[in-house]
Amino acid sequence: MLAGTGTVDVRDISDQKVAMIEENIERAGFKNVKTKVWDALERDENSIGKADIVIADLPCSGLGIIGRKPEIKYHASLEGIRELAGLQRQMLSVVQEYVKPGGLLVYSTCTVNTMENEENARWFAESYPFDPVDLTGRLGAAVEEETAKDGFVQLLPDKNLCDGFFISLFRKKESQDT
């Protein structure tokens, strides 16, 4: 999609996941994708204000993929979900710094839990200089959620014929005054 004009910087805390990503990059023949093992809680001074788009696909309870991974129900707890929601907020607090003014931040999870999704998206919009972006028409005809106009959609396994996912989109304000 970048037609060779930009760079995609992919990060994960896991060596194993980064290795899998690198295999996919090589198989696809991409030349403008770089990988790095990196803890999202650790601030990267060299990345502040440089990204046109940050996609923060953060760790979550996984309740949206319970159909494919039924063992999730044996490990899920309210306390664990609270901890994950807090971790997501910590990560968003760091990665939002990488977005340049006017740039976009996508916050996504593979869960259907409101604490990890809508509540965190609302917290983010209230805490940082970002505005929700209308998603209407951006995700294809199969995704026509009423909340898209508010900058987020909650996909449900039975309704949307996919796993359960949450996607929200924010644009960083051009200046702190707006």
> Quick one: tokens of 112?
């259907």
Q: Work out whether strand 51-57 and strand 152-155 pair parallel, antiparallel, or are unpaired.
A: unpaired
Predicted TM-score of the model (pTM) = 0.90
* CA dist., res. 60 & res. 84, Å (int): 6
8 domain-assigned: no
The amino acid at 22: E
pLDDT at residue 30 above 60?
yes
SS3 161: coil
Question: Active-site residues: which are they?
Answer: 110
Question: Higher pLDDT residue, 66 or 134?
Answer: 134
* CA dist., res. 130 & res. 139, Å (int): 21
138 domain-assigned: yes
178 pLDDT tier (thresholds 50, 70, 90): very low
Per-residue pLDDT tens digits for 79-94? 999 999 999 999 999 9
Supply the CATH number for residue 81's domain: 3.40.50.150
82 domain-assigned: yes
How many domains is the chain partitioned into structurally?
1
The parent domain of residue 104 ranges over 39-172
160 domain-assigned: yes
Per-residue pLDDT tens digits for 110-142? 999 999 999 999 999 999 999 999 999 888 776
115 domain-assigned: yes
62 domain-assigned: yes
Ramachandran angles phi, psi of 163, nearest 5°: -70, 170
100 domain-assigned: yes
85 domain-assigned: yes
